[in-house]
Each structure stands twice: as structure tokens, then as C-alpha cells.
Amino acid sequence: MSAPEGTTVHSGGNWAASAAHRLKRKRRVGALRKMATTLPMCVVDYMDTTKSPEEEDIAAAIRAVRGRLGDKVLILGHHYQRDGIVEHADYIGDSFMLSQKAADSEATTIVFCGVHFMAESADVLTHDKQAVLMPTLRAGCSMADMATLEEVERDWPTMLERGGWSDPALRADPSAPADANDAFLVPVTYMNSSAALKDFVGRHGGVVCTSSNARGVLEWAFERAGERGAVLFFPDQHLGRNTGLKMGLEEDRMPVWIPAMGASSGLDDARIVLWHGFCSVHKRFTAEQISEFRTRHPEGVVVVHPECPRATVEAADADGSTEYIKRFIDAQPPGSSIAVGTEINMVARMAKEHPDKHIECLDAEVCPCSTMYMIHPAYLLDVLERLEAGELPNQVVVPASVQEGALLALERMLSIIE
């Protein structure tokens, strides 16, 4: 998987490391790649925390090199990472919380155990003297890839024309509140998008949102769109739709925009235009699975991520971000039965942390997020060893020209939170 548009990646720096060290690293990573192409991930027992002798050796080596590197390195791990990564992370959280931790850190190097858009956001929010690295550059995000800068810039003029809207970028202040008779199309992008898309949004008077603040962000955007205006929400249609429904919008006022094809219905009365994107993991969770769980556990509760389809969210007892799901599970009394609709590594970790509760994944056959799963401890060790040798491997660098608009969009979101 290649790096997202508008992002520069550097695979290495100083090659003064010894030939023996490079050969050892090559053999280790080569063996990992061979294993990764043959391992049927969906049959992994996520509750099994035992390590093979090889895994123990890798974990011990990570601890050793990390100890030698000290405080100049910060390791961040997303909730969806496997336990073999989580045990080495300084912080575990969602994408935005981890980017904030990076920005607040004095570490000179941040190793982000997540996917591309997360590392990009961290690079945008950190200062120029900090370097953001990834264990492997292959870890992208299929949802983020569903809305590219090329597609959005190609379809943007057509949306404006068909909806009768104006571009906020033409205003003296693109992010100023609209007058009563104004009709602007304000772009809102989910955190799960490339830096290039965040830059587009920033330049066109828009804002970034997360799954925990989407409602507040949409209220901000509606105020800038005007009563006759609308919001373009991308790349995840389900988060946009579920948030709009909670705000009292009818579904027919939220048409889906299919790239290069157009809207699923007319735009005359549209209030939110939903880009045709989705999370391949969360769309697997269904209302039927919830019904089956309730048959087995009549007193049980269900919590899901708002990236799930509408019917799933409406059938659940609660929905929210990964941080919300964690707090929801923590708050349930001992003896509770809880079904969770999100990535399996997080669900399994919650079950291990709460042995006094019955916690299960809504979909018993769900696979992990395939791109998150690319972050293997052997890759983390490889990056740390190369860092110790004076290299900056797998560095993610968002160009200054892209950072400018992306930072605008992120700062607007921060102002809404505050």
C-alpha cells in the first residue's frame, strides 16, 4: 500500500549500521512477511495472551532497545492494535487523543502504531523538530482511501452546481457564520482521512470531526452553511447519517454522493451530503446479531461504534467512539453481559481486563482490521533498532503546503471542543 497523496515518506536515513545488524533485521522481517502471507488471521484466539519463544525474544528485545533510547522516543498505540504492540505503548487511545499526546510530548521521535492518517495528523500537530515514524508504511486505512483528493476536487464543482450552493473559499473569511439567506456547502471530514483531504477542507472553510464530537462539529458547520446551505460529510457515510438522525434530520435530507456518479436522490432539500465511504469492519455488525445476543442474554447490553450501519446503531443500547465504548464497559456492574460492535482486538482486551463481566464481539467470525494488524512487534523492533543506529526509518512527513490547510481544519475542531 502506497503512502497517501500529499504525504512524503522516508524509508531510512543513516546506513552506518553494521552489515551483520542489517542481515539480522532482514532475516527477521523476511520471516515475518512469509508468516503474514500465510497466517489465517480470522482463526487467531484473541483471548490467548501466551507468547511463542520467538515472540518472547522480540518482546524482550523491544524492551531492551526502548530502555536504551529513553524518553526521546514516544510509542503510541491505537485501541485496535494487538496485545504484542499495546504492551510497549506509552499511551493507548483513539486517533485524535494519540495525536494530542504526540503534540504535548517533548520526545524527539514519535513511533505511531496505527495507520497512515493517524501518523499524518500527528505530524501536522507536532513541531518541526519532532519526527513521526511508523513500524510499517503498508498500514493504511481502506475508509480513508475511499475519498481521495482527486475525487473530491473533481466532484466538488458538480455538487455546488446541482445543489445551488456557493463555495465558502470565495468568502473573505471562509469559516465565518453565514447570513440568513446564504447557501454554502461546508466540507466536514472525519479524522479518518488523508492530510490532503484535511487540507482541502481547511481551505474551503470546513472542519475535521471525530466520532466523539461529530454532533458539535455539524452544528458548527450548519451555522456556516446557512439555512439554505448544506454540509458535505466524508469519508464515512454511516457516522454522518447516524449523527444527523440524532440531530433530528430525516434520512431523505441526507443523500449519498457516489463518486463520479452523483447523488442517490435530489439535492434540493439536502442538509448533509454523505460521501459513499464506510469502514469494512464496522459495516459487518448487524441488527440480527444484536437480536441473537439478546436471545442468549436477555439482560445483556449492546454498545457499538457509530461507523456501524443505521439499523445496527438503532438496535444497540449505546453507541460511541472507542474511548466511549471503553468507558461504557468500565461502567457496567460485575456480572454484566455486554456485546460490543467494534474491532476484535479491542473487544478481546476489554474482556481480559474485566474478568467479572461477560464481554463478547457481536460478530463471532469478524477479522481484525487488516491494516492495523500489519503493525507486528517485529516491525516495531526493526524501527527502534534502526532509530538507535541513527536512522529515521518509515518517517511520515506532511509537506508544509498541505499542513497549512490541514492545521486550519484541526484547529477549528479544537476551538469547538473548547
More confident residue, 238 or 370: 238
The pLDDT of residue 378: 94
Q: How confident is the model at residue 23 (pLDDT cuts 50, 70, 90)?
A: very low
The pLDDT of residue 36: 41
Residue 56, helix vs strand vs coil: helix
- On the question of a cis peptide bond just before residue 187, with omega within 30 degrees of 0, the verdict is no
Does the pTM surpass 0.75? The reply is: yes
Cβ(189)–Cβ(198) under 8 Å? yes
Separation of alpha carbons 394 and 407, rounded Å: 22
The pLDDT of residue 379: 94
Residue with cell 494519540: 98
- DSSP per position, 12-69: -S---S-HHHHHHHHHHHHHHHHHHHH--GGG--TT-----HHHHHHHHHHHHHHHHH
pLDDT of 157 higher than 50: yes
pLDDT of 53 higher than 90: no
Q: What's the chain's average pLDDT?
A: 88
pLDDT of 11 higher than 50: no
The pLDDT tens digits of the residues spanning 358-375 come to 999 999 877 677 777 788
DSSP H or E stretch at residue 341: strand 337-341
The pLDDT of residue 59: 94
Domains and CATH numbers, the chain: 8-140+370-401 (3.40.50.10800), 144-279 (3.40.50.10800), 282-361 (3.40.50.10800)
More confident residue, 20 or 304: 304
Q: How confident is the model at residue 256 (pLDDT cuts 50, 70, 90)?
A: very high
Separation of alpha carbons 72 and 129, rounded Å: 12
CB neighbours of residue 248 within 10 Å: 6
Residue 306, helix vs strand vs coil: coil
Amino acid at the residue 202: G
Least reliable range by pLDDT among 23-27, 85-89, 234-238, 339-343: 23-27
Least reliable range by pLDDT among 50-59, 232-241, 242-251: 50-59
pLDDT of 26 higher than 60: no
Residues 49-78: what's their mean pLDDT?
Answer: 91
End-to-end Cα distance, the chain: 36
Separation of alpha carbons 311 and 222, rounded Å: 25
